[in-house]
Chains A and B, each alone.
Chain A
């Protein structure tokens, strides 16, 4: 980022030519493919994640259709394994994580008063790598089928398949190999994207805050994103190594996890959960951040206990590393390890509880407006609390041994990830939609969306607690009649349909709201800096970088408090379209960055090209034939490293210095 004026002396020099013509368009498909603007990248993450949500949701419906009745015949056992595995993978890696990333990308620079992230082009690389990773994993359906050993892919299932001798028959090993390789290489590619984003966000937060924006003045969403970036930074290499080991095991018979050759399947479990538990916080913390932004705005009160929320977020980040083995109480680690991890797990409920009470404290005595974002935020607080409580029951080892791998667990993590993360993220969509697209979504439809989703959600996942406690195992493709599970499974199936309908209502809302009047810069009477600038913000975010002097900066520009502590509007008024951010705010002039003498990073083809190299190289692993394998590696490698080189040498689109 920069704010250096065009240099008049050199502005007239003839343009240098790159290998590719440098993209300069600001509208149209090409401009989106080559963009490095964090706001557009955020939008593409969001749209992509919602598309994957439809796919993962359809998979969930297939699962529930199969299980709605005993002896269901919608899916074969083999198809069921693929579908539930892809559902889990999709929801975790291609819906919840990237939807969080969408918000981080879009909001983080705006909330700290920066023009962009620290490395805009690497940001674009992350986006495209994430997209190609998703396409790569799904391309498995064109070959030997999709990964089928669940999103945790424990060994030896991952190696020999859940059904080595059954319906896959003679080719079982080859088929299983291909499926597991899609898991291993696909997640490996997606991990590169996360790692690059993590570096990017950490540097952005540490280095690019506006003047006066101290760490303890940062909005909570930015704080939580910062913690998430650290979790990614340290969790991704661990799963990365585990996935490489998986590749060596599956493809080259290097016996990391194969007990028949001296390997230890429990090593995979450790590595997976050493990543997997922090991953849970990677998914939930952005939603916590979103809720911490929404509740104060619609309670017309500052966040209760800002620093407690921030520090409990950091504490969760730290403690999250020490509890991974609570996923392994049935793996036979022994009573000492089990107790230690059980206690550590109970500890982590403390900072989480602090957060919940801070949110309640924020609402307490506030002037609450029950807008759609507020409803979703309250939805998160209540649903997550249920999920958190059933989580505590997992930390009791004897309890967990009983409920392990039953639907009780499925209920628990959906209360956390759907009732928690997704409710928060949907609240965020309603809250920031006017900032991103300049229009409010329809409130009435939004509320219908919320209530139908809440009802559907509880119908779906509530009864799973009972099913689980009654012994219904997860990951079984069917069950017999007369187990006492029929009724609740029918209810669960119905609930899943209601969730599906609620999503259609959401899509309808977007469609029906497209002609809504402009929302203005600050439609919710909000508190943080991103509402200073126009909606949608100009490419350069702010005409002038705002000077920050307070937590809740925007609020104090708009309000002072009288003797009784009630907010009163400052004479000059708050933000409106003419005067976003009020009298001291950022004047959004309608001028382009160039007219204002602000130099923004240039668009480029190379991030997209670079990302294409990775799946091509990854396909090479599937070939037995050394020559073909090497050819794929070579083409992919040349594309990736060639793009890096082209990128390093690419001249600027505008010859300005």
Chain B
């Protein structure tokens, strides 16, 4: 009985074979990520278009603190490692390690978000606001929507962690759930690498 049971919970296809041999959930996540590429692509394109439209307001040189953002970028990238370790721990059925790494990943995400909030507050204080220029509003929208994505990821990670405390996450049934959260998280990280490169590393002038 238990094999049927486990397979049944593993995915909505309930142990049925799928045409691609990949569960519906995973295929769905990949499809969704494809769509997300266009979502961020449209914002990045707008940002590049408006790079020099600063309305005589503050430019990128004036506001960005590259070392600061590099540090928070590093933390976000490390969180991807945390995610990998969490999944690995679950595969080894080491629940303690799983909880530790999920929480650590979530915390790194939160540190990144805190850094972003600090940055935003600082910019606004400097007079770099939504209404300042096409450049400023493109910046806030691009990084802000990325922040929203990180927030959603953090909520999912915290939920995984909280559920696992009550024994609600097991290697038999939820490996794929965690894998899916991981897919999402890695995607959000990768997008940030692109955004960071475009915003902070491409010289502005």
Contact = CB atoms under 8 A, between A and B. Distances in A.
Contacts of B125: none
A208 interface: yes
A199 B18 CA distance: 16
Contacts of A242: 42
A516 interface: no
Given A240-B39, A241-B46, A207 B27 contact: yes
A70 B85 CA distance: 74
A238 B38 contact: yes
Nearest to A118: B24
5 contacts: A2-B15, A7-B5, A244-B145, A248-B137, A263-B134
Contacts, number: 125
B193 interface: no
A220 B159 CA distance: 43
A181 to B, nearest CB: 16
A244 B138 CA distance: 11
Contacts of A263: 53, 134
A262 interface: yes
A255 B46 contact: no
Contact of B19 (A208, A236, A244, A601): A208
A271 B35 contact: no
A333 interface: no
B139 to A, nearest CB: 10
Contacts of B53: 262-263
A253 B8 contact: no
Given A262-B55, A262-B134, A267-B49, 17 more contacts: A1-B14, A1-B16, A2-B8, A4-B8, A7-B4, A10-B5, A118-B12, A206-B19, A207-B27, A233-B34, A238-B42, A245-B141, A255-B55, A255-B134, A263-B134, A601-B12, A657-B5
A214 to B, nearest CB: 9
A254 B22 CA distance: 43
Contacts of A202: 27, 31
Nearest to B54: A262
A4 B28 contact: no
A248 B130 contact: yes
Prevailing SS type, chain B contact patch: helix
Interface in B1-30: 1, 4-5, 8-9, 12-16, 18-20, 22, 24, 27-28
B141 A237 contact: no
B13 A261 contact: no
Contacts of B196: none
Interface of B: 1, 4-5, 8-9, 12-16, 18-20, 22, 24, 27-28, 31-32, 34-36, 38-39, 42-43, 46, 49, 53-55, 130-131, 133-134, 136-138, 140-141, 145, 155, 159
Contacts of B55: 255, 261-262
A271 B140 CA distance: 19
Interface in A164-216: 195, 198-200, 202-203, 206-209
Interface string A245-256: 100100011111
Nearest to B14: A2
Given A1-B13, A4-B14, A209 B27 contact: no
Contact of A254 (B14, B19, B141): B141
Contacts of A237: 35-36, 38-39, 42
A119 interface: yes
A253 B133 CA distance: 10
A272 to B, nearest CB: 12
Contacts of A253: 130-131
A654 interface: no
A224 to B, nearest CB: 18
Contacts of B136: 254
Contacts of A241: 39, 42-43, 46
Contacts of B159: 645
B130 A254 contact: yes
Contact of B1 (A7, A234, A252, A256): A7
B148 to A, nearest CB: 11
A261 B23 CA distance: 49
A234 B39 CA distance: 8
Nearest to B24: A118
A566 B1 CA distance: 53
Among A208, A241, A264, max chain B CB count under 10 A is at A241
Contacts of A601: 12
Contacts of A245: 46, 141
Contacts of A10: 1, 5
A9 interface: yes
A3 interface: yes
B194 to A, nearest CB: 15
A256 B8 contact: no
A178 B14 CA distance: 47
Nearest to B55: A262
A507 to B, nearest CB: 38
A2 B16 contact: yes
Nearest to B43: A241
A599 interface: yes
A206 B26 CA distance: 12
A198 B13 CA distance: 19
A198 B35 contact: yes
Among A4, A252, A254, A261, max chain B CB count under 10 A is at A254
Contacts of A236: 35
A254 B137 contact: yes
B27 A203 contact: yes
A234 B28 CA distance: 14
A1 B140 CA distance: 43
Nearest to B142: A241
Among A242, A255, A263, max chain B CB count under 10 A is at A255
Given A203-B28, A245-B141, A208 B18 contact: yes
A482 B28 CA distance: 60
A199 B28 contact: yes
Contacts of A267: 46, 49
A1 B14 CA distance: 7
A641 B131 CA distance: 30
Contacts of B133: 255, 261-262
Nearest to A209: B19
B19 A256 contact: no
Contact of B46 (A206, A256, A261): A256
Contacts of A2: 8, 13-16
Nearest to A261: B55
A204 B160 CA distance: 27
B27 A206 contact: yes
A236 B15 CA distance: 32
Nearest to B138: A256
Contacts of A209: 19
A267 B13 CA distance: 43
Contact of B31 (A233, A254, A599): A233
A252 B24 contact: no
A236 B42 CA distance: 11
B137 to A, nearest CB: 3
A203 B141 contact: no
Nearest to A253: B131
Contact of A118 (B14, B28, B134): B28
B134 A256 contact: yes
B18 A207 contact: yes
Nearest to A237: B39
A186 B13 CA distance: 34
A207 B134 contact: no
Among B15, B28, B36, max chain A CB count under 10 A is at B28
Per CB-CB distance, the 8 closest pairs between chain A and chain B, nearest first, are A254-B137, A2-B14, A237-B39, A241-B42, A207-B18, A253-B131, A118-B24, A237-B38
